[in-house]
Amino acid sequence: MARTVQSDRRRRPSKPPATIPAASPAATSKLPPRVRFPLLLVLSLTISSLLYSLVSPFTSGDLATVSRSRDNWWEIAGLLGWKATELAVGWYGGFDSTDFAALTFLTHVPYHYFLSTFYLIRPTTSAYCIAIDTLAAYVPFYSLKVSSSIHSIKTPKGVAANRSVINDTGVQVYTSLLAAGIYTVVVFGSYGTWLPVYLVTHFDGMRDISAAYSPNFPWLILSFLPTGFAAKVFLFTPATAAKADKYDKETAAFNPETATLGDTIVYNLWGYSHRARTLIKRTATLVTVGGVHTMLQTYGSLEGAELLGAAGWSSVWGLAATLTGAAFLWVGDVDGV
């Protein structure tokens, strides 16, 4: 009997360690770290240029009819510099391919939504552009940077906190709808108050302003469903999956009677859980990158756009992102999350 038990133990395969499901090629890549980011930049620009060339027959020059001409080298250099900055934020900010694709989607939607809504650019053209920008962000990161497992439905035990929550279909649907609803309410509220007059004042050449004066609320909700899902991916999932770290232990052990003035200030300003800190940092990243990108893209690419107009349009989306982050912070305080 003992021999049989020992034999069964020898034949029984050992339990594999927790690994990243469907790991990206970067997991086994032997490229030196110092060459990966330059290669990432080249790969992203190449993919973007190639895909835009492929879809040009289907866009019929839609963007050219409203685009500002760039005759100076510094204008092109500025756009390339901002592109490199966006990639650097993702690369050095610790984002994986899914994170950065979601961030790119969220930061590029405002400009193309603006073109489709007020300049009558075909929705298919805007969809092509957003898809290309997202792919040009996802593929290089997937190829050159190790993917996180928190976005996978096969997240191993111990890799992420609240695994049952982040893998729950109902939670994913509800949080996506929550984010989509917030974006809808912010845009709808802006249309009903200050935005129409502001747009007419600061944008010369708008083809149709009727959407701002008579917005269709149900259509807005449907339009923002992909945005809500992307916000869930970039904000809610990583924050919910954040495990307690050493700073959580330090915060729990904080004693105001023995703490120094510096420790007290740090505790009051940043004495949050790892989940809350992750959500705050990602929300700040989304607001900052999205705000700068929308303003630069709108003012630098759209003929007749004023800087104040671009800043105003950008602020709408910055407010929506901020409120979404705040809502996810509140949702995360529910027991069991």
Does residue 3 carry a pLDDT above 50? no
> Of the candidates 237, 298, 328, which has an alpha carbon nearest to the alpha carbon of residue 82?
298
The pair phi, psi for residue 203, each rounded to 5°, is -130, 120
For residues 89-98, average pLDDT: 95
- Using DSSP, state whether 305 is helix, strand or coil: strand
Model pLDDT, residue 153: 61
> Of the candidates 171, 99, 153, which has an alpha carbon nearest to the alpha carbon of residue 334?
171
Residue whose structure tokens are 């107009």: 309
Distance CA 180, CA 199 (A): 23
Helices (H), the chain: 2-11, 33-59, 73-92, 97-118, 123-144, 163-166, 169-191, 195-202, 210-213, 217-223, 225-231, 237-241, 246-252, 261-270, 274-301, 307-332
| 242 or 112, which is more confident | 112
Lowest model confidence (mean pLDDT) among 21-35, 135-149, 205-219: 21-35
In this structure, are residues 314 and 294 in contact, taking their beta carbons and an 8 Å threshold? Answer: yes
pLDDT in tens, 264-275: 787 777 778 889
pLDDT averaged over every residue in the chain: 87
Does residue 98 carry a pLDDT above 70? yes
Model pLDDT, residue 5: 44
CA angle 73, 75, 79 (to 5 degrees): 120
Distance CA 175, CA 243 (A): 20
Does residue 13 carry a pLDDT above 60? no
Percentage of the chain exceeding pLDDT 70: 86
Burial of 105 (0-12, 13-18, 19+ CB in 10 A): buried
Lowest model confidence (mean pLDDT) among 18-22, 128-132, 225-229: 18-22
Percentage of the chain exceeding pLDDT 90: 65
**263, amino acid identity:** D
pLDDT in tens, 28-51: 567 888 899 999 999 999 999 999
Model pLDDT, residue 24: 60
Count of Cβ atoms closer than 10 Å to residue 320 Cβ: 27
> With the CA atoms of 178, 182, 185 and 191 taken in that order, what torsion angle do they form, in degrees rounded to the nearest 10?
-140
Lowest model confidence (mean pLDDT) among 7-16, 50-59, 80-89: 7-16
Does residue 232 carry a pLDDT above 90? yes
> In which band, very low, low, confident or very high, does the pLDDT at 26 lie, cut at 50, 70 and 90?
low
Model pLDDT, residue 69: 81
| 26 or 13, which is more confident | 26
- Sketch the domain layout of the chain as residue ranges: 34-55+72-332
Distance CA 25, CA 43 (A): 15
- The pTM of the full predicted model, rounded to 2 decimals, is 0.88
Q: Which two three-digit tokens encode residue 143? A: 């190829």
Length of the chain: 337
Model pLDDT, residue 151: 73
Model pLDDT, residue 217: 94
Does residue 210 carry a pLDDT above 80? yes
In this structure, are residues 238 and 278 in contact, taking their beta carbons and an 8 Å threshold? Answer: yes
> Of the candidates 277, 314, 282, which has an alpha carbon nearest to the alpha carbon of residue 295?
314
> In which band, very low, low, confident or very high, does the pLDDT at 4 lie, cut at 50, 70 and 90?
very low
Q: Which two three-digit tokens encode residue 192? A: 């009903």
| 61 or 313, which is more confident | 313
Does residue 61 carry a pLDDT above 80? yes
Model pLDDT, residue 302: 94
> In which band, very low, low, confident or very high, does the pLDDT at 9 lie, cut at 50, 70 and 90?
very low
Strand partners, 305: 203
> Phi-psi bin for 122: left (phi > 0), alpha (psi -120 to 50), beta?
beta
Does residue 245 carry a pLDDT above 80? no
pLDDT in tens, 253-312: 777 877 787 777 877 777 788 899 999 999 999 999 999 999 999 999 999 999 999 999
